[in-house]
Copies of this chain bind each other. A is one copy, B any other.
């Protein structure tokens, strides 16, 4: 088969996948809450009972990864151990226990014309998800799709293809058990990269794309997509220690925000300290950072107070380290802190540590980030911590959904008008 025919075949297969997803989305939008919950509970049961077929498929991926010389942590991320399966099964049960977002009617008001106008929450339709590595994302995406009444088309990483295919069979069986269409959750069965290019340019079949992976992948998909993309770019998060502050509390929070885990996007990468507290705060937090092996890159005033700090370059202020490194700057006012965050930040998550109420309120209102916090660790910016039950991703955009995206982010609000024969005059 030559390349042209092969692309034709792929296009035909993606078109057929898309059309099936669109049909399934119509059925899912009208599906009773009980059927959706039944599918989720059936999926949880099937994951716990997951037998030899799943283990065999997973072993294929793990063996291939080992043979390809992947590092041990990468190989471990592929493994569907009983513990991993129990965790994702529990996730399905938690989502089943949540209220159904679909059909919620809000804000109904009588208008002078006599009509009542409100809004009803409805599924977006079909979402496409592109992700790498861990096969449990397949189940997280599937369970959020089912509960939110959407259909989805999943494209996992090639390194997990056998596991993902086996998991998608479990999802299909669970949907069928609840009388819902198997095509509500479809996995792209080929690892051909051209399939991604097709998936992101089918606005007739796909309403939104959610990529999860490296920044390069997300930027490329955003650039080439012909449908909206819920995207997550940098998490260059700040903690600002204000002039009036509970120093002991601030030490605990900044330590946690930076060092509790270095790799998450909501870890703090930059510390701003008001000049009035620099002398009291910086040497003490520096002691903690030195003990934990966190490299400090500071402005001149920071270096004067913290001998262990190396000079920060201009590039440091804009850098998401995802590592035991932090940039530190002394500022002279709340305004300077907010201006710095506005200029160098990534609009992800930023926190003020203060006992001053007006300053707390100004920070909350004026800092233009997806999550703004007072006296709490930036590490809380997370769908589970926010009570969303699960998250399909985190948005660094302002449009549609911002910050952690859960079930509501997979829905939109349509207008409903209830009349008794009213006409426009």
Contacts and interface: CB of A to CB of B under 8 A. Distances in A.
A24 to B, nearest CB: 14
Interface stretch (A38-46, A108-116, A168-176, A317-325): A108-116
Nearest to A22: B342
A400 B402 contact: no
Contacts of A403: 414-415
Nearest to A369: B414
A29 B117 contact: no
A387 interface: yes
Choose among A252, A351, A376, A400 the residue with the greatest number of B CB atoms under 10 Å from its CB: A376
Contacts of A120: 364-365, 372
B399 A366 contact: no
Interface of A, secondary structure class, is: mixed
Contacts of A288: none
The residue in A369, A375, A414 that gathers the most chain B C-beta atoms within 10 A of its C-beta is A414
A415 B29 contact: no
A376 B118 CA distance: 14
Interface string A383-422: 0011100000000001110111000000011111111111
Nearest to A114: B376
Interface string A195-225: 0000000000001100000000000000000
Interface residues of A, number: 66
A379 interface: yes
Contact of A115 (B257, B364, B380, B404): B380
A412 B398 contact: yes
A313 interface: no
A58 interface: no
A115 to B, nearest CB: 5
A49 interface: no
A373 B113 contact: no
B380 A421 contact: no
B29 A374 contact: no
Contacts of A253: 419, 421-423
A368 to B, nearest CB: 7
A265 interface: no
Given A364-B416, A365-B30, A380-B417, A111 B385 contact: yes
A259 B250 CA distance: 66
A230 to B, nearest CB: 9
A83 interface: no
Given A399-B207, A403-B414, A421 B249 contact: yes
A424 interface: yes
A334 interface: no
A76 interface: no
Given A111-B387, A113-B385, A403-B414, A376 B419 contact: yes
26 contacts: A30-B362, A111-B386, A111-B387, A117-B387, A120-B372, A122-B365, A124-B398, A125-B398, A207-B399, A208-B399, A246-B421, A253-B419, A253-B423, A256-B423, A257-B423, A260-B425, A368-B414, A372-B414, A373-B417, A376-B422, A377-B422, A380-B424, A385-B424, A398-B412, A399-B412, A402-B415
Given A109-B387, A376-B422, 17 more contacts: A124-B399, A207-B398, A207-B399, A253-B421, A364-B416, A371-B414, A371-B415, A371-B417, A375-B421, A375-B422, A376-B423, A380-B419, A381-B415, A400-B400, A403-B414, A403-B415, A404-B415
